[in-house]
Amino acid sequence: MTGSSNYNEAKIKVIGVGGGGSNAVNRMIESALKGVEFWIVNTDIQAMKLSPVFPEHRLQIGQELTRGLGAGGNPEIGMNAAKESKESIEAALYGADMVFVTAGMGGGTGTGGAPIIAGVAKSMGILTIGIVTTPFSFEGRRRAVQAQEGIAALRENVDTLIVIPNDKLLTAVSPSTPVTEAFNLADDILRQGVRGISDIITIPGLVNVDFADVRTIMANAGSSLMGIGTATGKTRARDAALNAIQSPLLDLGIERATGIVWNITGGSDLTLFEVNTAAEVIYDLVDPTANLIFGAVIDPSISGQVSWFLF
């Protein structure tokens, strides 16, 4: 295990790989996500220059192979670029207790590079979480096939893998949604996924979660699902929980889950009664032998609203 031995001070790093992963990290920074260290990894040096990530946390891979010009949508180039820069990747990951490897699958650098980076992290004893998107159907069959191959490779190199099908996001937006907004929505879902997990570890709350607890559920867990729900009004806690369970991102119900981590976030008006009400929604559905871990976080900026996240 590298890094901090004090689980209450777990060091979390978020590694955005390729264009999609980097965009997601940029959005996390813009949303003031706290308690994590951000890195972007890319073969395209021009794209990296536009990022708000600290310059020393921008890692160009495959300098000899690609000369900073990108992977041209070829995952094999992305993979070999990451292999070329393995020592630099190890240095970037050093000291972490938990690493999120995030990418938009289907292109070159993210698809080919993310499995290599995740494999390095896992070999260092770091709890490694993959959180990726699959392409929209309109992006074409080639990217879809490449994405599935990349996901299969990534699954072998992470403790937990969360795959978000971009097509499912389209069920939550109007037909008039511009293409750019659809991609922004995909980036934002990646942001919410990372935040939902990291917040319960890094932010003191009504109910705190120990990093060791999270590690128990997520280490070698395999594939995972993610649900997000928000609500306002008198029954907001229960409604947010139901919205998360019925989230279009969840391919399957939670009834067969062997382990669930969930987090409820509300303003300073969030009550323990509401937390309990939301918890009962889960307890009524899941297997009584399932391992359940939950946290409750106060965010003064969302007074009147409750957000619910589960995986």
Q: What is the total residue count of the chain?
A: 311
Q: What is the pLDDT of residues 20-36, one digit of tens each?
A: 999 999 999 998 888 89
- 7-202 topology per CATH: Rossmann fold (3.40.50)
Residue with tokens 């900073």: 68
Segment holding 93, helix H or strand E: helix 86-93
**DSSP 3-state of 200:** helix
Alpha carbon distance 64, 62 (integer Å): 5
How does DSSP assign 231-271, residue by residue?
Answer: EESTTHHHHHHHHHHT-TT-SS-STT-SEEEEEEEE-TT--
Q: For the chain, which residues make up each domain, given as ranges?
A: 7-202, 225-310
pLDDT at residue number 178 = 86
CATH number of 225-310: 3.30.1330.20
pLDDT digits (tens, 9 = 90+) for 121-169: 999 999 999 999 999 898 999 999 999 999 999 999 999 998 988 888 8
Kindly state the percentage of the chain with pLDDT values over 70.
96
- Contact of 67 with 77, CB cutoff 8 Å: no
Instruction: Decide if pLDDT at 117 tops 90.
Output: yes
Residues 229/308, Cβ–Cβ less than 8 Å: yes
Closest listed residue to residue 206, CA positions, set 284, 276, 291, 115: 276
- Nearest Cα to Cα of residue 36 among 1, 10, 66: 10
Q: Which residues pair with 86 in a beta bridge?
A: none
Q: In this structure, what are the phi and psi dihedrals at residue 153, rounded to the nearest 5 degrees?
A: -70, -40
Contact 116, 151 (CB under 8 A): no
Considering only residues 24 and 206, tell me which one the structure prediction assigns the higher pLDDT. Answer: 24
pTM score, whole prediction: 0.88
pLDDT tens digits along 210-230: 888 888 888 888 878 788 889
